[in-house]
Amino acid sequence: MAEKKREQAPQQTVQMRPGGRGPGGPGRGPAMREKPKDGKKTLKRLLSYIGSSKYLLIGLLAVMLVTTVLTLAAPALQATAIDAITILPEDWSNLAVHINKSLLVKTLIAIAAVYLLSSLSMLLQGILAAKLTKSTVMKLRGDLFARIEHLPLRYIDTHKHGDIMSRMTNDVENISNTVSSSIASLFSGALTLIGTISIMLWYSPIMTLVAMVTVPFTLLFGTKVGGKMRKLFSKQQAILGRLNGHVEEMVTGHKTVTAYGRDKRAIEEFTELSEEMKKTSIRAQVFGGTMGPVMNFLGNTGFLLIAAVGGYLALEGSISVGVIQAFLIYARQFTRPINELANQYAQIQTAMAGAERVFAIMDEPSEPNFGKLYPESIRGEIELKDVVFSYVPGKQVLKGLDLSVSPGQKIAIVGATGAGKTTIVNLLTRFYDIDSGEILLDGMELRDIERDTLRKNIAIVLQDTVLFSDTIAYNIRYGRLDATDEEVRAAAKMANADSFISRLPNGYDTELSESGSNLSGGQRQLISIARAVLADPKILILDEATSSVDTRTEMHIQNAMVALMKNRTSLIIAHRLSTIRDADKIVVIEDGVVAEAGSHDELLAKEGAYYRLYQKQYAGIAT
């Protein structure tokens, strides 16, 4: 509702979004702030989503267990094969090779079988991991979208739309990529660590101790660098949200930006954000990039120690050559999960930061709905008693407003910019709740009426029409989804829209582009009116419904609105006073209260607030 921008601009310290219903908006909402992060809580919640597909998870764990067992069996079989053909001689001048052919053949067959089964199990593991990932992300994205749909309008009005969209797209996609690439690595890594260290201890406790030398250094480095990386990746995701919000605002307001010659300024702002994003991303990636090389260095150091100590023990006759070879492989298997985690740490941190941002929206409270009354019918009697309301605490927009509307009455609400006209609409539809006072509908407290029941009895026609990228028929049927084609056409005829719709190549099946941009402003408004006709509301609200069209189109819309308002309680908010002369009562709002009320002629005769507004429009008095 465009009026909100005008009402709040003098009072709010937060900038308004064009066409918004409150402070903030896609381009100028409160900036993202760094908040204390709870990694354990975030991980626990993310794991709960993964665990929601329990059969896929159980199947994946079972396959990974088989894969791990096969992976652990291969080095032991290789050691047996080597020992079947290798003997450490006492006299190096007389080297002899002894082969246990029977054992060697059996072992080679077993190794081939293990490799074949391991390949098949890894293929199945990849399929199950992909299904689990997509199932998890679909549920996460579905819950996030459902939460966004149930957020209070105050939240939507005070947060950048681009940032909200970034959480739905970029952040969820980062989670998807991480779950897809890391879930198998993490689970199989844990199983591999347990199995490997068990076999290593069984082979040689001394060699196992040698293999563990580098582990403390690995953990210490990961802990120190990890904390820094987490902050950087959280900041990176927040800046990305701001960047998306800026782009979304510039694309939406492209005409305004171009018309006022603010192209360079828009580019400068984008460049500033991009530069901040680049610096933060470089720092994050540098820290993330150090993990892999350092972990590889520590792993290679451990490999060297194992080879040296193992060689010495072999010369002493404590272990065989085959065991040394197996131990080198097991040592690699032991460090591999740690190294993989290190290499994926940057991506995991990005996903965790994204998950925190996603869960932050999910933790927002839903729009309150305490109403327990489900009236079967609404007559349309409205009464506001001493209503006080403020968008920002301490800055009242309505200051004890009183207003009575009889059933079927046509009321026009006028007033200067910022007087509080559209705020009344926001309160009647319960987009916002009052601070104090009472709003009664047919004698019932508005907050006692179940929210959806209330809104089904109210239809709004806005200055800025909202149409969806679908057919014209669908956009009209949006007022009542179970309406038949005949009812849709009848509503269009009543709204004076049938004539131009019928002339379109595909008629009611014409596909609309985004926001209905392939139609004129007047045509979009007529479709919006047809939607309201189909909804058949008891209360009709027209908020500047004709202020953005030419006079000729306004006449067509006015005729459509006359038919629409018949036998309905109607509230008309208008700046063009010519459109409200035949209203049953005109209410003038000044400084958050009703200054005066009456018919057009009565108010002109008083020469009060309405008279002054009228003179400013038509008598040429300077404003």
Alpha helices in 482-596 (DSSP H): 485-494, 498-503, 521-535, 551-565
pLDDT at residue number 384: 92
Q: Which residues, in sequence order, are CB contacts of 265 under 8 Å at separation 6+?
A: none
CA 136 – CA 51 distance, rounded (Å): 8
Spatial CA neighbour of 278 closest among 249, 239, 306: 239
More confident site: 89 or 325: 325
| Average pLDDT of the residues in 22-38 | 38
Confidence band, pLDDT 50/70/90 cuts, at residue 581: confident
| Average pLDDT of the residues in 118-129 | 89
- pLDDT tops 70 at residue 584: yes
Q: What share of the chain is helix, strand, coil (3-state, %, to 5)?
A: 65, 10, 25
Spatial CA neighbour of 493 closest among 554, 418, 556: 556
Spatial CA neighbour of 120 closest among 63, 55, 73: 63
The DSSP call for residue 30 is: P
Structure tokens at 353: 């930061």
Sign of torsion over alpha carbons 126, 128, 134, 137: negative
Q: Is 179 helix (H, G, I), strand (E, B) or coil?
A: helix
CB 575 within 8 A of CB 610: no
Confidence band, pLDDT 50/70/90 cuts, at residue 105: confident
- pLDDT tops 60 at residue 79: yes
Confidence band, pLDDT 50/70/90 cuts, at residue 444: very high
pLDDT digits (tens, 9 = 90+) for 279-322: 888 888 787 777 778 777 877 787 788 778 877 887 777 777 77
Confidence band, pLDDT 50/70/90 cuts, at residue 242: confident
CB 578 within 8 A of CB 556: no
CA 483 – CA 491 distance, rounded (Å): 10
- pLDDT tops 50 at residue 582: yes
Structure tokens at 10: 């003098």
Q: Which residue carries 């290190």 as its tokens?
A: 342
Confidence band, pLDDT 50/70/90 cuts, at residue 618: low
**Distance set, CA 48 to CA 91, 137, 165, 557 (Å):** 63, 12, 24, 53
CB 421 within 8 A of CB 40: no
CA 362 – CA 147 distance, rounded (Å): 6
What percent of the chain is modeled with pLDDT above 70?
A: 84
- pLDDT tops 90 at residue 117: yes
- pLDDT tops 80 at residue 378: yes
Sign of torsion over alpha carbons 482, 486, 489, 493: negative
Confidence band, pLDDT 50/70/90 cuts, at residue 17: very low
- Taking phi first (over 0 means left), then psi (-120 to 50 degrees means alpha), and beta for anything else, what does residue 317 get? left
Structure tokens at 110: 């077993």
Helix (H) or strand (E) holding 411: strand 410-415
Q: Is 45 helix (H, G, I), strand (E, B) or coil?
A: helix
- pLDDT tops 70 at residue 20: no
| Average pLDDT of the residues in 579-583 | 77
The b/e string for 114-123 (b: 16+ C-beta within 10 A; e otherwise) is beeebeebbe
More confident site: 365 or 316: 365
**Per mean pLDDT, which range of 25-39, 69-83, 101-115, 224-238 is the poorest?**
25-39
Partners of 382 in beta bridges: 405, 441
pLDDT at residue number 619: 56
Residue type, 509: D
Q: At what angle do helices 321-343 and 54-85 cross, to 10 degrees?
A: 150
**Per mean pLDDT, which range of 42-51, 552-561, 588-597 is the poorest?**
552-561
Confidence band, pLDDT 50/70/90 cuts, at residue 23: very low
Strands of the sheet with 569-573, listed across from one edge: 458-462, 539-543, 569-573, 410-415, 585-590, 593-598
Q: Chain-centre distance of CA 178, in angstroms?
A: 18
**What pTM was estimated for this model as a whole?**
0.64
Structure tokens at 540: 């009709």
pLDDT at residue number 623: 39
Confidence band, pLDDT 50/70/90 cuts, at residue 86: low
pLDDT at residue number 282: 85
CB 235 within 8 A of CB 34: yes
pLDDT at residue number 420: 84
**Per mean pLDDT, which range of 194-198, 246-250, 524-528 is the poorest?**
246-250
- pLDDT tops 70 at residue 11: no
pLDDT digits (tens, 9 = 90+) for 138-165: 888 889 998 888 888 888 888 888 788 8
- pLDDT tops 60 at residue 94: no
Alpha helices in 386-461 (DSSP H): 421-428, 451-456
CA 160 – CA 178 distance, rounded (Å): 26
> Other C-beta atoms within 10 Å of 269: how many?
15
